[in-house]
Amino acid sequence: MSDKPLLRIINLKKRFGDKVVLDGISFDLNKGETKVIIGPSGTGKSTLLKSINRLVVPDEGEIWLGDTEIVRCKNINAIRQQIGYVFQDFGLFNHLTALENVMIGLTKVKKIPKKEALERARYELNRVGLSGIEDLYPAQLSGGQKQRVAIARALAMDPKLMLFDEPTSALDPELIGEVLAVMQELAESNMTMLVVSHEMGFARSVSDEIIFIEDGKIVEQAPPEKMFKDPENPRTREFLFKLSELYGEG
C-alpha cells in the first residue's frame, strides 16, 4: 500500500462525437502530493478531472484510487465521498446557508449525527477563515467566500483526494488570493491535490509537479523549477511564455 500511488491514471481516452478530448492520459499522484494541470482551454483538463469522480465516463483506460478502479466500479457514490471536488462556479446549494452547505454531505450522505456534523462544519468553516458567516446564504457571499465554503464542504467529507477545477477563474482578481491561501495551506498540510489552474505563482510555490496537457495528451510533466527554467518541449515553452505575459510573473 505504502509505495502504491494514491491515484493512478492509465491510458485514459474520451471522445465527444468526432472530437478526441482525452487521448491516452497516464500519470500517478502519490499521497500528499500536489500536481497542477495546465494547458489551453478545450484540451481536456476539465474532462480529465470529471473522469476521476466519473461525472464524465471515459471511453477507455483505468483510474485507480488506491485499490479501487473507478471507471468500472459498482458503487460510484462511495468513491465520490472520498474525492473532494471544487468547481469553477462553486456549486454551492443555493437554498442552504454556508453552514448547511458544509453539513449536508455529513448528515445525508455520511449519516453523521446532526450535532457532530454541526461541530465539524463549524470547524471546517473556521479552517478556511470563514467564522461568522455560517448563517449567510450563497447569494449573500462574495465569490471568494463562496469558493472557500465549497472547499470547506469538500474537506468536511474527509477526502483522500481533492480535485480543483479552475477554482479561481470565476473570481475577481482581488479575491483570488484568499482562495489560493487556503489551497496553499491545504497542500502544506499534506492533502493530496490535483489542481487545474493557470495561477503560476501557486503552481511554482506549491506543486510537486506541473502537467502540461494539449489536445488530450500530456506534452510534458516536470517539477516546477524544471518546467519554468528549462522546459523540454518548445510547445511548453511557448505556452508558459504566453501565460506569463497574460498573468505577469506570478
Partner 1 sequence: MLDFFELVQKSLPTLLEGTFVTIKLTILILALGLVLGLIIAFFQTYGNKPVRLLAGIYDRIFRSVPELVLLLLVFYGLPNIGFRLSPFYAAVLALGLRSAAYMAQIFRGSFMSVGSDQLTAAYSLGMGEYKAFIYVIFPQAIRAFIPPFANEYAIILKDTSLAYAIGVVELLRHGQYIIAVEYKPLPIFLVIAAIYFVLTFGVARLLKMLENKLKIPGIGV
User: Which residues lie near partner 1 (CB under 8 A)?
Assistant: 53, 55, 77-81, 83, 85, 87, 89, 91-95, 104-105, 108-109, 136-140, 153, 157
Nearer to partner 1, 87 or 239 (CB): 87
Nearer to partner 1, 44 or 84 (CB): 84
Nearer to partner 1, 162 or 218 (CB): 162
Cα(178)–Cα(150) distance, integer angstroms: 13
SS3 240: helix
Work out how close the CB of 92 gets to partner 1 at its nearest, in angstroms, rounded to a whole number.
Answer: 7
Work out how close the CB of 36 gets to partner 1 at its nearest, in angstroms, rounded to a whole number.
Answer: 20
- Residue 32's region, left for phi above 0, alpha for psi from -120 to 50, else beta, is left
Nearer to partner 1, 168 or 236 (CB): 168
SS3 53: coil
Q: 119-136 burial, b for 16+ CB within 10 Å, e for fewer?
A: ebbbebbebbbbeebbee
SS3 35: strand
CA-CA-CA-CA torsion sign (62, 15, 212, 185): negative
Nearer to partner 1, 50 or 127 (CB): 50
- Cell numbers that stand for 216 in this block: 488530450
Work out how close the CB of 191 gets to partner 1 at its nearest, in angstroms, rounded to a whole number.
Answer: 17
Cα(116)–Cα(227) distance, integer angstroms: 45
Nearer to partner 1, 37 or 222 (CB): 37
Work out how close the CB of 148 gets to partner 1 at its nearest, in angstroms, rounded to a whole number.
Answer: 15
Work out how close the CB of 236 gets to partner 1 at its nearest, in angstroms, rounded to a whole number.
Answer: 31
Q: Are 199 and 248 in contact (CB under 8 A)?
A: no
Work out how close the CB of 77 gets to partner 1 at its nearest, in angstroms, rounded to a whole number.
Answer: 5
Closest alpha carbon to 64 in 29, 92, 98? 29
Q: Which residue has the cell 470547524?
A: 123
Question: What are the percentages of helix, strand and coil residues in the chain, rounded to 5?
Answer: 40, 25, 35
Work out how close the CB of 3 gets to partner 1 at its nearest, in angstroms, rounded to a whole number.
Answer: 28
Cα(130)–Cα(128) distance, integer angstroms: 6
Nearer to partner 1, 141 or 200 (CB): 141
